[in-house]
Chain A
């Protein structure tokens, strides 16, 4: 089953939702992600009914915002997480969380396939690393994301391969900034 999930190209499904309003692709995304969002919200303290409602909201938002999804910089799971996080803030009356300034470039119409693949691979590698952590450390990280910890309790030294993701994103940002500079000087 796990092998199956690894082989599903979630971003291709989002592109089908984006380009063709493909309901079959949406249904496949729903079957995988909606129950995970619901579980996430319940672990964050939402009742089952509220979590169910919010999970449906999150999936409807995925439909609405499919054109804003940037597959080069985030996997679908990561993108779904950010939508669920915002929905949770409203639902559980958590502190407002301003977003950083938008990067001056949106998602590219034809994302680089290798970059898209890398983003998804990294989430999977990160997931594998997370599941191999000692139980206590893993529970600590999960509780942090469920909104259950004060920042002072969170251990920074987790041994997770965050550095590689960071360097890849950093490289992508540098490259994009260079391109923007070139474009700006050409004008």
Chain B
């Protein structure tokens, strides 16, 4: 697999710092599962975290070490990490959210053959969804109120900017209004995280949108 579109340094650093909403963390974890290039960059930002932690120190409470030594007394050591499953389409972090493989996704129609499944993330500021766009069909024309990350999991789409295939990530912000179209052939499945709400221009008159909170 050749991935052409990658995560930015800003996003990788914020992910290393655990400073992003859950929905973005999920897309980043899914991309890193597919992309060695970004995984290596991500590990470099972890190393920067290591350097930051080395940089400042303070006093521990009296008896702190003794308390910790008492605590590890007889504490069993973990032998191996519990293996996590992935399927041909969904990387492991996504399987945890879907509660199983692709067959467990609860799709809902959003119009024009496009289906979506909102994933249960905890933050109010951003949301994550799986999108299913039939081959040859267009995503409803939309803009965003903030950052949007779209990761292709199956098939490919094109928009005004470029072509995106499995593993590719599109980073769009409020200034981008685009109409991704799935390539003919295989249906396209994407994971998208959006800050604020998505504005589907074709579905509702612009004026009504704030009231419907799509």
Which residues in A have some Cβ–Cβ distance to B below 8 Å?
A: 18, 21, 23, 26-27, 30-31, 33-40, 42-43, 52, 55-56, 59-60, 63-68, 73-75, 77-82, 84-85, 88-89, 94-102, 106, 122-123, 126-127, 130-131, 141-142, 144-147, 149-152, 154, 156, 160, 162-163, 165-167, 169-170, 173-174, 177
Contact = CB atoms under 8 A, between A and B. Distances in A.
Contact of A34 (B17, B64, B78): B64
Contacts of A37: 53
A149 B20 CA distance: 10
Contact of B78 (A67, A101, A122, A131): A67
Chain B: interface secondary structure? helix
Contact of A127 (B29, B51, B78, B86): B51
Given A100-B93, A166-B41, A95 B71 contact: no
Contacts of A97: 15, 18, 20, 22, 25, 29
A64 B64 CA distance: 18
Contacts, number: 227
B2 interface: no
Nearest to B65: A30
Contact of A27 (B42, B65, B121): B65
| B13, B26, B81 — most chain A CB neighbours (10 Å) | B13
B175 interface: no
A151 B60 CA distance: 32
Interface string B21-57: 1100110011011001101111111111111111111
A62 B212 CA distance: 49
A88 B42 CA distance: 19
B198 interface: no
A56 B122 contact: no
Nearest to B29: A98
